[in-house]
Chain A
Amino acid sequence: MTALQTIASVRQRKSQSSVSAWFERSVPALVLSPGVCVSVIFVYGFVLVTGYLSFTPSTLMPRYALVGLDRYRDLFSNDVWWESVNNLAWFTVPFIIGSAAFGLLLAILMDQRIRYEGALRATFLYPLALSQIVAGTAWQWLFNPTYGLERAVQNFGWSSFRFNWLGNPDLAIFCVVIAAIWQCTGFVASLFLAGLRSVDDEIVKAAQIDGASLPTIYRRIILPVIRPVFFSVTLILAHLAIKTFDIIVVMTAGGPGTATWLPSYFMYTFAFERGRMGIGAASAMMMLAMIVAVLVPLMYLESRATRNAT
């Protein structure tokens, strides 16, 4: 073998290895690219289209002339929209507090090294596996005064019992809140349980040796340690709340009157039922703004909290 040949073969090997190295480097990108393309087009692309439509006079069908902020003016002067936003607050706050409180309670109880924990966890998580349509329909029956809870209690003999929240415009939203809490609690509990399990046993034992009671240990040590879990729970529940739709459709259809309209229901009704696509698009953009307004500060806080923790 001459020196020249050697050099050539080395070069060849080198270039071969550089091809395979390039390949190795780009495999993740190649594999990910279809997914990226799909989400760029079908998420961000459609967000842009919706944003564009919110500046047009679109009614039944999309029209592409620009009319400035007219649709937003229409939206902001619409009483039903403001009622929907108001209802969203009445829905979101009890929903987040309720789910988080019940979820945490369940998680702490399950954290006591009890028997059949796996089975219990699955049981509590099960409602999440039901679609909102199914859960909402079941709760609608329970709350319905003519064949639900009210009738059942009356049949037991308490004939003056009244429970008609679903028909009361001030209380109907809480029926939806109860159903939504029931559905999400198990999921929240499993998030909290994972957090509780990650707490170092040594610290807890040290506290026990120092004579701290169990409630104090939870209050002063464990809960502060799992603070990031609270952030993720709030984050997940907040965006779930803003997107709530199916459960409203089956439980109340927005009623009584407009007492349980939420922005998502408003968006659907205006864009697809009443042929006011422009206003529907504007309300969708406002919902996006709400989600961003909730997520960005929370994500910032969370990243700061985890940085401090490490």
Chain B
Amino acid sequence: MGVSKAVALFLAATWLGGVGSARAEDLEVLHYWTSGGESKAVNVLKGEIEKKAFTWKDSAIAGGGGQNAMTVLKSRAVAGDPPAVVQMRGPAVQDWAENGALVDLDKVAGGWSKVLPPAILNVLKYKNKIYAAPHWIHRVNWMYINKAILDKAGGKVPTTREELYQVADKMKAAGFIPIAHGETAYQDGVFFEGIVQSMGIDFYRKAILEGDQQALTSPTMVKVFDTVRESQKYFDDGVQGRPWNLAAAMVIEGKAGILFMGDWANGEFKNAGKVPGKDYVCVPVPGTEKMFTFIADTFVFFKQHDQPASPGQLALASLIMTPEYQEKAAFYKGAIPAITTASVVEFDDCAKKSAADMKASISSDTLITSQNQGTSEARLGAIRDVVSKFMNSKQDSKSAAEALAKAVKAAM
């Protein structure tokens, strides 16, 4: 009698407890958006989800370009206690989905294919199920030019490598550093990627995204390395180890003419009070005008206690996909909305151009993943090792192309 009563009480308590916890579901969010604009964007989402009576438990882990956060994620996943929501990009999404660690979002993702371009939808998928919700899109193949220095160098925006060299020579003659760069593996990678892409979208897809040995050892790849060497003439002496934001500052302050960097650099110009078109020019990397190379920042949702997606996880995923959130978040982050139904009228001219170019690239099928998004950490690292070594030595282009092919093969 007493026993059964106790059992009944216990059951009631656990049931109540279960209901209680479902109502105020805790969503632990592991992310590395800690800088000014990024945390503003995250706070928008936090405010919205808490209006729906879910609790946002913030686990922001700064540093290492997300490496630190990923290290924490791995140890927690191994221990069987992953956070419910994790910021992620690139093939890591597919890796974790393959490991069976993620919940699919099919319950809410039914209409996503109508608002997302196929190329972007593709990076969210693993075996035809959607596992990630995109916050915004970054375009990588940008070139920023200081307007005043450009005017002193003839005023014509270069659209080919040859024109670029001509402009750079004039800048040098006028006493400016032509290209602002920092030799870190990361910036070397971005710089290299732009040159590969200028050899054509098919070559880029084959060599970098597919790791095709024939493309990697082809004369075109040797030409890519030649071009890298040629461009290095336009760097300054203090290039070693300079972070990208300092390289951007050189262009902002009028010390250097040209910067090759993704649109997150636009935020640096904006924060310095510079106006696109008046103080600086943003154009695609010469030879890649038609292409839009993107990085999509997403949230993925980890399985909690082997359960399918929880109400909180699904609510957060659908919230991310609303045009209202995308407009605000992309604006703060300095990116553009991922969904095509969101408006960009509030954005600056560079972002507007970005959004227009994305629309155009969808119809011409030239919307393509940047190497940061489209290759595994292993291959990305292998490519950076070779490129960075080439840029920091007197290695010849042919042996660099061979080393690249070998390194990519080893990282398959």
Q: Which residues of A contact B238 (CB under 8 A)?
A: 145-146
Q: Are A256 and B77 in contact (CB under 8 A)?
A: no
Closest chain-B Cβ to A225's Cβ sits at a distance in Å of 47
Q: Within 8 Å of chain A (Cβ to Cβ): is B96?
A: yes
Instruction: Scan residues 95-134 of chain B and give those whose CB is less than 8 A from a CB of chain A.
Output: 95-96, 99
Q: Within 8 Å of chain A (Cβ to Cβ): is B74?
A: yes
Closest chain-B Cβ to A153's Cβ sits at a distance in Å of 15
On whether A60 and B183 interact (CB within 8 A), knowing A257-B390, A275-B377, A275-B378, the answer reads: no
Pick out which of these stretches binds chain A: B208-216, B298-306, B403-411: B403-411
Compute how far the CA of A272 lies from the CA of B380 in the bound complex, rounded to whole angstroms. Answer: 14
Q: Which residues of B contact A275 (CB under 8 A)?
A: 92, 95, 376-378
Instruction: Scan residues 181-220 of chain A and give those whose CB is less than 8 A from a CB of chain B.
Output: none
On whether A255 and B385 interact (CB within 8 A), knowing A146-B238, A275-B378, the answer reads: no
Q: Within 8 Å of chain A (Cβ to Cβ): is B361?
A: no
**Cβ 8 A contact of A79, one of B77, B96, B393, B407:** B407
Q: How many residues of A contact B (CB 8 A)?
A: 30
Compute how far the CA of A259 lies from the CA of B96 in the bound complex, rounded to whole angstroms. Answer: 33
Instruction: Scan residues 135-151 of chain A and give those whose CB is less than 8 A from a CB of chain B.
Output: 144-146
Compute how far the CA of A252 lies from the CA of B78 in the bound complex, rounded to whole angstroms. Answer: 31
Q: Which residues of B contact A146 (CB under 8 A)?
A: 238
Q: Within 8 Å of chain A (Cβ to Cβ): is B220?
A: no
Q: Are A256 and B392 in contact (CB under 8 A)?
A: yes
Q: Within 8 Å of chain B (Cβ to Cβ): is A247?
A: no
Instruction: Scan residues 358-381 of chain B and give those whose CB is less than 8 A from a CB of chain A.
Output: 376-378, 380-381
Q: Within 8 Å of chain B (Cβ to Cβ): is A98?
A: no
Q: Are A257 and B389 in contact (CB under 8 A)?
A: yes
Instruction: Scan residues 274-289 of chain A and give those whose CB is less than 8 A from a CB of chain B.
Output: 274-276
Q: Which residues of A contact B184 (CB under 8 A)?
A: 253, 255
Q: Within 8 Å of chain A (Cβ to Cβ): is B232?
A: no
Q: Within 8 Å of chain B (Cβ to Cβ): is A17?
A: no
Q: Are A255 and B241 in contact (CB under 8 A)?
A: yes
Q: Are B74 and A269 in contact (CB under 8 A)?
A: no
Compute how far the CA of A238 lies from the CA of B244 in the bound complex, rounded to whole angstroms. Answer: 37
Of the candidates B239, B393, B403, the one having the most CB atoms from chain A within 10 angstroms of its own CB is B393
Q: Which residues of B contact A107 (CB under 8 A)?
A: none
Compute how far the CA of A234 lies from the CA of B4 in the bound complex, rounded to whole angstroms. Answer: 73
Instruction: Scan residues 239-286 of chain A and give those whose CB is less than 8 A from a CB of chain B.
Output: 252-259, 269, 272-276
Return the chain A residue nearest B406 by Cβ: A79
Compute how far the CA of A225 lies from the CA of B99 in the bound complex, rounded to whole angstroms. Answer: 61
Q: Which residues of A contact B96 (CB under 8 A)?
A: 60
Return the chain A residue nearest B65 by Cβ: A273
On whether A79 and B78 interact (CB within 8 A), knowing A167-B240, A258-B385, the answer reads: no
Closest chain-B Cβ to A81's Cβ sits at a distance in Å of 10
Closest chain-A Cβ to B400's Cβ sits at a distance in Å of 11
Compute how far the CA of A59 lies from the CA of B92 in the bound complex, rounded to whole angstroms. Answer: 11
Q: Are B77 and A258 in contact (CB under 8 A)?
A: no
Beyond the given A145-B240, A257-B388, please list 5 additional residue pairs across the A-B interface where CB-CB is below 8 A.
Answer: A61-B74, A62-B78, A78-B410, A272-B71, A275-B378
Q: List 28 A-B contacts (CB under 8 A).
A: A60-B92, A61-B74, A61-B77, A77-B406, A77-B410, A78-B407, A80-B382, A80-B407, A164-B237, A166-B240, A169-B389, A169-B393, A253-B184, A255-B185, A255-B388, A255-B392, A256-B240, A256-B388, A256-B392, A257-B391, A258-B389, A259-B389, A272-B74, A273-B377, A274-B377, A274-B378, A274-B411, A276-B411
Tell me the A residues contacting B by CB distance below 8 Å. Answer: 59-62, 74, 77-80, 144-146, 164, 166-167, 169, 252-259, 269, 272-276
